[in-house]
Amino acid sequence: MESCRVWYGRELLALAKEDPTIVALDADLSRSTMSTFIEQELPQQFFEIGIAEQNMVGIAAGLALNGMKPFVHSFAVFLTGRAYDQIRQVIAYPALNVKLVGSSAGLSDFGDGATHQSLEDISLMRTLPNMIVISPADHVQTKAITNYLTGYRGPAYLRLSRAETEQIFPEDYRFALGKVDLLLQGDDLAIISTGTLTGTALRAARRMEAQGIKATVINVSTIKPLDRKDLLKAIGGIRRVLTIEEHSIYGGLGSTVAEILIQEKCGYHLKSMGVRDLFGQSGENHQELLKHYQLTEDDLIAAAAALTSD
């Protein structure tokens, strides 16, 4: 198991060593977001803004306006929620080259409860024109995406979990914006997942195979702009589609997929799994919360069985 946030922090540091225009900003959470690597090794390229997310986003806009490549860090919930208007007005609207890195996304900050958990961030960021939204599934993809983002010119939201994930992608994986990752092919249904739950989807699919249900597993790391044709190609002739994400069922991956599939003439049978219009809460560990909100392998297998039986 590897930590995406640690791999992110290390990769950003490596890239910042090569490119002095890369700067990191944080709001007193650098040891959680892992911008601490830059802070320690390249203090000139790090700005502690204090506990002031709105000001931090504005400062990042100013840095970008003067040719720097700012990476802005906080917990996903504070960055996208507390500073939403700032992100909208001074990052997305003028399409500035600012990377927003929302850490501890989903339920991964299990102990701190609803105030620190982020189940609405994809929805908030996805609706903003000019903003791209990316949610990696493992540390290999995280590293590749971090690398990609330093070369991408424009506003971007990177969603990172605090949870550790198993390796899904090979070491030589290359990220392509908008493209989906077809991880497993089966004829009975397509499971479309993002972030931490892609590992869950793969494990569930392997167990289902033993029960005679063959699932396609598609990872979507680019929630926006999602390449419609690439998604349809990966789904192929399958008509039963199940989405799963550590996010509200409103406005996230499930909504994105539904918006695409509803435009197609053939009828799809869709089910979206996510947190159903609820806030999070404290738990002993991440797994306990995923179980409570019905986002485990077992829940996925049950949903797949229900979807394929009718």
Binding footprint of another protein on the chain (CB under 8 A): 20, 23, 44, 47, 49-50, 52, 54-68, 70, 85-86, 88-90, 93-95
Sheet with 215-219, strands from edge to edge, namely 181-184, 215-219, 189-193, 240-248, 269-275
Q: How far is the CB of 288 from another protein (least distance, A)?
A: 36
CB environment 60-72: b (16+ within 10 A), e (fewer): bbebbeeebbbbb
- What whole-number distance in Å separates Cα of residue 202 and Cα of residue 205? 5
- How buried is 43 (Cβ within 10 angstroms: 0-12 exposed, 13-18 middle, 19+ buried)? exposed
Per the DSSP assignment, residues forming a β-bridge with 133 are 157, 224
For another protein, the closer of residues 60 and 158 by Cβ is 60
Q: Tell me which residue has tokens 């929630």.
A: 223
For another protein, the closer of residues 45 and 135 by Cβ is 45
Q: Confirm if 246 and 107 have CB atoms less than 8 A apart.
A: yes
Q: How far is the CB of 89 from another protein (least distance, A)?
A: 4
Q: Confirm if 73 and 59 have CB atoms less than 8 A apart.
A: no
For another protein, the closer of residues 70 and 195 by Cβ is 70
Q: How far is the CB of 27 from another protein (least distance, A)?
A: 10
For another protein, the closer of residues 89 and 285 by Cβ is 89
Q: How far is the CB of 125 from another protein (least distance, A)?
A: 17
For another protein, the closer of residues 38 and 223 by Cβ is 38
Q: How far is the CB of 138 from another protein (least distance, A)?
A: 33
Q: For residue 132, which phi and psi values (nearest 5 degrees)? A: -105, 150
Q: How far is the CB of 15 from another protein (least distance, A)?
A: 17
For another protein, the closer of residues 27 and 205 by Cβ is 27
